[in-house]
């Protein structure tokens, strides 16, 4: 199985901050890396697919980059609605696996 490691596990930031979340795969996954946002009581939302493609209706302040084993999700200017937990997921091979999550909290 491909292990996905996210860092940090949590972070505190202010509205307007630029933040970056890192995801590392235990082996190369090319660009088959997806990012999700989870909020309590709501359906999870796909933000970025295949490393850097923005899912429809997702604000352009979200961006992704990377390849091989190292990937990042960046929020260029944090908005109040962005305080949530973010997960990466590899789609390179089954079993599909997720990172441990990064909780973004208000400073």
Partner 1 sequence: QVQLQESGPGLVKPSQTLSLTCTVSGGSISSGGYFWTWIRQHPGKGLEWIGYIYYSGSTYYSPSLKSRVTISVDTSKNHLSLKLSSVTAADTAVYYCARGIRGHYGMDVWGQGTTVTVSS
The answer to whether residue 84 forms part of the interface with partner 1 (CB under 8 A) is no
| Distance between start and end Cα atoms, the chain | 36
Calpha distance 57→54 (Å, rounded) = 8
Structure token pair of residue 95: 């079993």
Between 20 and 59, how does the x/- string for binding to partner 1 read (CB under 8 A)?
A: ------------x-x-x-x--xxxxxx--xx----x----
The answer to whether residue 71 forms part of the interface with partner 1 (CB under 8 A) is no
Binding positions for partner 1, rule: CB under 8 A: 1, 32, 34, 36, 38, 41-46, 49-50, 55, 87, 89, 91-92, 94-101
């Amino acid at each position: 199985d491909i292990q996905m490691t996210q860092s940090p596990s949590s972070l505190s930031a202010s509205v307007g901050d630029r933040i970056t979340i890192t995801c590392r795969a235990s082996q190369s996954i090319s660009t088959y890396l997806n990012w999700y946002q989870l909020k309590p009581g709501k359906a999870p939302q796909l933000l970025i697919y295949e490393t850097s493609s923005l899912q429809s209706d997702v604000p352009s302040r979200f961006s992704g980059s990377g390849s091989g084993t190292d990937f990042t999700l960046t929020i260029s200017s944090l908005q109040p609605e962005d305080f949530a937990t973010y997960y990466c997921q590899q789609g390179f091979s089954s079993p599909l696996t997720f990172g441990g999550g990064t909780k973004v909290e208000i400073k």
